[in-house]
Every structure is written in structure tokens, then in C-alpha cells.
């Protein structure tokens, strides 16, 4: 089918743009395996020594632990808050609901630097010192809009008749939620949680304000970028590329099970 | 299942607490900060508008505003144009590759922000791949400095960050454009380009407007790309704000600058909207949310 079509300018443009997006990532990943310590062409030879080097670096290991902790806590918190809100938005149209929806979109419309300095102000007023809890709160705030987006799209396609049927058959409200609603939306919730996880794992701009003395993986790379870069930075970058991608790939699988077209849903965010 | 008012309030309240507590309340505090002179990370004296006046009159801030525009405008324009091409291909491309391109766009969106910056930085650096290939081919005899640490490099890196975001927005917008409308325009004798200019682009005008403004805004606030890829000539307003709340500790100035950027964003949005309306790039009689 593709053969019969003439290659159009549109297709060439698409290829070039995709090359522009992915080639730098491919080169950066390739150089994580370079046997020499330079990042120049030609590629010296294949080696895993830089991965061995970073996995013996205690600072990197602890940054990896912090990132995992923050991402897991963010996933739980953002999924809970976002799902509750999306549930209310999908069932009731009220002034409170529309105010909530408008507020829930704020974090994606503000540059992260504003949210970051907001946290500085918040911590100063409340005398709260920066650390893991503030990292998690910062990530949660930006992850919530994405959770609401996917959960709302799932809940709107949800057949409410199922709940009525359960109630007619004598199930209580709580029983209906537990036996009908939650099992139906569970795959989408898992997907939303994984999306929040991958968002949190990579978050850099807000984290620079909320981390205090903690270091996450992005902050670790940022530290490396301030000095002379060697392929160990590329090794960390490869890991930082892969972990959110894996979480996101799992999220995509969960969304496929729940029948939510992820591309279309994510696309609505910018509007 | 119907939910009552009290249950609704209960379900929404965690969201309200999070947004009011960590976005709205801090904005009010920051506004308070912006009205004071700061010394040693402490507000001093009586409320004053001096921070705002200084930002608007000091030539230093004019340079910063110019840098922000010189990076932000090309970044927004190129991201939107490139994103539109990708989305157009996914929606109207008509081949089996459409699905794969959509997956690649989503994958690019989810690729780590920092890794993309890191990749450009190592690629464009003085001893990086681009320079060493050029040197190897004998095209240059010493590293080309302007690849890294220039506004151009900052624009390239930022476009790679924001283009997938624009592409997905346009994917959603273009999916709502009926191909019949384009078909009708073609039947009535419009060329391919005319159909694009007169039908497709105006129908997706609100998405174009929103994406352009948002990407410009995000670019202005980015304080990592301009530092690590753009170098000393790329001091943008995002960097100055971040430093005011970091090493410098002049919260008042940083907050005043933030509110002026917010105001500038509203003006840019309104100007862009008026311009697009005048050029018939927006659908008529639309209640833009």
C-alpha cells in the first residue's frame, strides 16, 4: 500500500523532523558505550566500562534511589487526587466542578520555573525545609493534570448503566464502587500512575528548587554537565532515557487494555 | 451512580487543596515579595514598586528581554511548523506509516527533557560529534564555536523539546477536521495549498494560537537549556528569575520579573490572536475558551 503512493514532500518533511528528534538521542546513547573517554567522532570501540563506573558511584546510586522513591510516591498521590477529582467531574456538572477543572489545568499552563519559585515562597512562609516531601509535592502538582485528563476520558466512556444495574440488583453504593467501578477503571488508573511515574522521574526544573540537599537522577546529570563531560554522563543519560520510557510503555499497554487512545488524550492537553 | 454535593466536594477537595496551596497561595506570596526591596534574603523597608520600575527601565533587563524574544520566537515558530507537519502526516498522510509516526511522536514527547538537552550539548560541543566530523572531513581546521553556546544552539535544542508537544496538540485538532471540507474545497477548484490555507489552518487556528503562545511562554521560563546549550550570550528571563531565587537571593526582583513575564505572555497571546484573526487564520464567530 505504501509502495503505490508517490513519496510526497510531506513524507520527506516528516522523516527529517523525526530524524532531528531521535538522532541526538541515538548518538548520546551510542557514546555511553564508547571505550575511550572522549565524545568525538570516530567512535573508539564498544565497552560497558562507563556503566560499571556509575554503578560504583555512591552518589549516583543514592540519586537513583531518591528518584524511584519520589516517582513512586508521586504516582500514588497524583493518581489518588486526580482520580477522585475526575470521578466527580465526570458525574456532576457544577460550578465547583468547573472551578476545579480550571484549577487542575493551571500547572501545565505555567512554566515550571514559576511553580518552582512558588515552592520557594511556600517553604519560606511555612518554614518547611526542602527534601523528599517537597520534591514529591512539586511532581504531584504537575502530574495531576495528566491523571485527570486520562481518567476523565476513561470515566466519560464508562457505561453508567452498569452501576445502575448493580444498584437495582441490590448492591450498596460502596459495594457498587468496589465491584463495578474500580475494576472497570483500574487499567486506566494503572496507566495514569505509570504516566505520573515517568513524568516525575524526569522532572528537572521544579526539582532544582524543591530538592534541598537531595539529588535525583536529573540533578545528578545537571551536576555532571557543569563539569567536563565524559561518557559516564551518557551512561546516566541512557538510564534516564530508558526508565521513563519503560514506565510509559507499560502505561500505553494499560491504556490499550482500557480502550483509551493515549495519543489523542495527550494531544488535548495543549489546548 | 449519582453523587451528592457533599460527596462531590469531598472528592474534589484534595485537588483544590493541592492547587490552591501550591500554586495560588504561592502566587499571592510572590506578589507580596515583589513589593519589597530585598537584602540578604530578607524583605526591607516599606512596600514599593521599585522592582517593577527597575525591570522596566534598566537597560540590562532590556537585553534579557531581547534574548528571550530572539530564542522564544524562533523556537515557538519552528516547533509549531514542524509539529503541524508531523500531525498533518499522521491524520491525512494516508499510509500505513501513520500509526508508527504517532507512536514515535508520543515516544519523543516522553523522552527525557534533560537527556535531550544533554544530547545536543554533547553533539554540538567543541569536541563533540558534529565538530569532529567536520574536522575529520577537513571542512574546518578548528572547532566551530557557534554550534554550542549560541542562541542558535539554544533554539535547536528547545525546538527538539517542544515540537512533539505541538505535534500532539495538532494531532488532536486535525483529527476534528472533516476531510470532506477539504474535499469540497478541492472540488470547488481550490489548490492543495489553498485548501490548507483557507480551510484546514483556520479550523485548527485556536490550537495553533494556544500552542504558539504556550511554547513561547515555556521557552521564556526555561532556565536549563539556555544555560547549558545557549551559553553566556543566551541569558533569558527564565535564568534571571531562577538565579534571583537561587544564588542571588533577591526574591523581590525575581517575583516582579515573573509577574511582568506573565503580563507579557497575556499581551503576546492577545496580539497573536488579533493578528491571526486579521489574517483569517482563526475560524469566524468562535467562542475561544
Give the model confidence (pLDDT) of A214-227 as tens digits: 999 999 999 988 88
CB atoms within 10 A of CB B253: 25
Question: Looking at the domain assignment, is residue A159 inside a domain?
Answer: yes
Question: CB A240 to CB B30 under 8 A?
Answer: no
* Amino acid A253: pLDDT: 87
Question: CB A42 to CB B88 under 8 A?
Answer: no
The boundaries of the domain holding residue A226 are 65-270
Question: Looking at the domain assignment, is residue A119 inside a domain?
Answer: yes
**Mean pLDDT within B41-66:** 93
* Amino acid B142: pLDDT: 67
Cis preceding-peptide flag for A42 (omega within 30 of 0): yes
Of the partner residues A5, A14, A160, the one whose CB lies closest to the CB of residue B85: A14
* pLDDT per position as a tens digit, B56-111: 999 999 999 999 999 999 999 999 999 999 999 998 886 788 889 999 999 999 99
- Listing DSSP states for A136-172 in one string gives HHHHHHHHHHHHHHHHHHHHHTS-THHHHHHHHTT--
Domain edges within chain B: 48-278
User: Is B109 at the interface with chain A, CB within 8 A?
Assistant: yes
Distant-in-sequence, close-in-space partners of A126: CB < 8 Å, separation ≥ 6: none
For residues A148-168, b (16+ Cβ closer than 10 Å) or e, as one string? bbbbbbbbeebeeeebeebbe
Question: CB A205 to CB B223 under 8 A?
Answer: yes
Nearest residue to B282 via CA among B203, B179, B171, B164:
B203
Taking the CA of residue B84 and the nearest CA in chain A, the distance in Å comes to: 10
Question: CB A11 to CB B25 under 8 A?
Answer: no
Taking the CA of residue B250 and the nearest CA in chain A, the distance in Å comes to: 12
Please work out, in degrees rounded to the nearest 5, the angle formed at the alpha carbon of residue A243 by the alpha carbons of B172 and A24: 70
Query: What ipTM was estimated for this complex?
Result: 0.90
**pLDDT confidence band for A258 (50 / 70 / 90):** confident
What fold characterizes domain B48-278?
A: MetI-like fold (1.10.3720)
Nearest residue to A57 via CA among A220, A261, A172, A238:
A220
**pLDDT confidence band for B247 (50 / 70 / 90):** confident
- Spatial separation of the C-alpha atoms in residues A123 and B122, rounded to whole Å: 35
* Amino acid A260: pLDDT: 64
Question: CB B129 to CB A27 under 8 A?
Answer: yes
DSSP A206: T
Question: CB A84 to CB B15 under 8 A?
Answer: yes
- Spatial separation of the C-alpha atoms in residues A117 and A122, rounded to whole Å: 9
CATH number for position A253: 1.10.3720.10
* Amino acid B140: pLDDT: 72
Question: Looking at the domain assignment, is residue A69 inside a domain?
Answer: yes
Say yes or no to pLDDT of B146 above 80: no
What is the distance between the terminal CA atoms of chain A, rounded to a whole angstrom? 34
Residue B61, burial from CB neighbour count under 10 angstroms (0-12, 13-18, 19+): middle
Residues of B in contact with A218 (CB under 8 A): 112, 114
* Amino acid A270: pLDDT: 42
Nearest-CA residue of chain A relative to B42? A124
At residue B44, the 3 state secondary structure works out as: strand
**Mean pLDDT within A236-244:** 94
**Mean pLDDT within A51-56:** 92
CB atoms within 10 A of CB A9: 8
Q: Please state the domain count of chain A.
A: 1
Nearest residue to A124 via CA among B227, B38, B15, B64:
B38
Question: Looking at the domain assignment, is residue A237 inside a domain?
Answer: yes
Say yes or no to pLDDT of B155 above 50: yes
Question: Looking at the domain assignment, is residue A16 inside a domain?
Answer: no
* B38 DSSP β-pair partners: B43
Question: CB B169 to CB A119 under 8 A?
Answer: no
Instruction: Quote the mean pLDDT of chain B.
Output: 89
* Amino acid B6: pLDDT: 87
Nearest-CA residue of chain B relative to A80? B14
Amino acid at each position: 500500500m505504501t509502495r503505490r503512493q508517490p513519496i510526497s514532500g510531506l513524507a520527506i518533511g516528516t522523516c527529517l523532523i523525526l530524524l532531528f528528534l531521535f538522532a541526538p538521542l541515538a548518538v548520546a546513547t551510542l557514546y555511553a558505550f564508547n571505550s575511550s573517554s572522549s565524545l568525538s567522532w570516530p567512535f573508539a570501540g564498544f565497552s560497558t566500562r562507563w556503566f560499571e563506573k556509575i554503578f560504583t558511584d555512591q552518589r549516583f546510586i543514592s540519586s537513583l534511589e531518591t528518584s524511584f522513591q519520589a516517582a513512586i510516591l508521586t504516582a500514588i498521590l497524583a493518581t489518588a487526587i486526580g482520580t477522585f477529582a475526575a470521578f466527580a467531574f465526570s458525574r456532576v456538572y457544577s460550578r465547583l466542578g468547573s472551578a476545579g477543572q480550571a484549577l487542575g489545568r493551571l500547572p501545565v499552563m505555567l512554566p515550571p520555573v514559576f511553580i518552582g519559585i512558588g515552592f520557594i515562597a511556600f517553604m519560606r512562609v511555612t518554614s518547611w525545609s526542602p527534601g523528599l516531601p517537597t520534591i514529591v509535592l512539586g511532581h504531584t502538582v504537575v502530574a495531576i493534570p495528566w491523571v485527570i485528563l486520562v481518567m476523565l476520558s476513561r470515566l466519560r466512556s464508562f457505561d453508567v448503566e452498569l452501576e445502575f444495574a448493580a444498584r437495582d440488583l441490590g448492591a450498596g453504593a460502596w459495594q457498587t464502587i468496589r465491584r463495578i467501578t474500580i475494576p472497570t477503571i483500574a487499567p486506566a488508573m494503572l496507566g495514569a500512575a505509570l504516566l505520573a511515574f515517568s513524568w516525575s522521574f524526569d522532572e528537572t526544573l521544579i526539582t532544582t528548587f524543591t530538592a534541598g540537599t537531595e539529588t535525583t537522577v536529573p540533578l545528578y546529570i545537571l551536576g555532571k554537565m557543569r563539569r567536563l563531560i565524559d561518557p559516564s554522563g551518557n551512561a546516566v543519560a541512557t538510564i534516564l532515557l530508558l526508565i521513563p520510557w519503560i514506565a510509559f510503555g507499560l502505561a500505553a499497554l494499560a491504556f490499550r487494555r482500557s480502550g483509551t487512545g493515549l495519543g489523542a488524550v495527550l494531544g488535548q492537553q495543549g489546548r | 451512580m449519582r453523587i451528592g454535593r457533599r460527596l462531590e466536594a469531598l472528592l474534589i477537595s484534595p485537588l483544590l487543596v493541592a492547587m490552591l496551596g501550591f500554586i495560588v497561595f504561592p502566587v499571592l506570596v510572590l506578589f507580596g515579595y515583589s513589593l519589597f526591596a530585598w537584602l540578604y534574603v530578607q524583605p526591607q523597608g516599606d512596600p514599593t514598586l521599585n522592582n517593577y520600575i527597575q525591570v522596566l527601565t534598566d537597560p540590562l533587563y532590556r537585553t534579557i528581554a531581547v534574548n528571550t524574544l530572539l530564542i522564544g520566537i524562533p523556537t515557538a515558530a519552528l516547533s509549531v511548523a514542524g509539529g503541524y507537519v508531523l500531525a498533518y502526516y499522521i491524520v491525512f498522510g494516508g499510509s500505513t506509516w501513520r500509526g508508527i509516526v504517532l507512536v514515535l511522536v508520543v515516544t519523543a514527547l516522553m523522552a527525557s527533557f534533560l537527556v535531550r538537552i544533554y544530547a545536543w550539548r554533547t553533539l554540538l560541543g567543541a569536541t563533540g560529534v558534529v565538530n569532529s566530523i567536520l574536522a575529520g572531513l577537513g571542512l574546518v581546521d578548528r572547532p566551530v564555536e557557534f554550534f554550542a553556546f549560541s542562541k542558535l544552539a539554544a533554539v535547536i535544542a528547545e525546538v527538539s523539546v517542544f515540537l512533539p508537544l505541538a505535534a500532539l496538540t495538532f494531532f488532536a485538532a486535525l483529527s476534528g477536521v472533516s476531510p470532506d471540507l477539504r474535499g469540497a474545497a478541492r472540488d470547488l477548484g481550490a489548490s492543495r495549498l489553498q485548501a490548507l490555507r483557507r480551510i484546514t489552518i483556520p479550523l485548527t487556528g485556536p490550537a495553533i494560537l494556544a500552542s504558539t503562545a504556550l511554547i513561547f511562554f515555556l521557552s521564556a521560563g526555561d532556565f536549563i537549556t539556555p544555560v547549558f546549550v545557549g551559553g553566556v550570550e543566551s541569558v533569558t528571563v527564565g535564568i534571571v528569575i531562577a538565579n534571583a531565587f537561587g544564588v542571588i537571593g533577591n526574591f523581590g526582583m525575581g517575583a516582579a520579573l515573573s509577574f511582568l513575564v506573565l503580563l507579557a505572555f497575556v499581551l503576546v497571546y492577545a496580539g497573536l490572536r488579533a493578528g491571526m484573526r486579521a489574517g483569517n487564520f482563526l475560524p469566524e464567530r468562535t467562542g475561544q475558551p
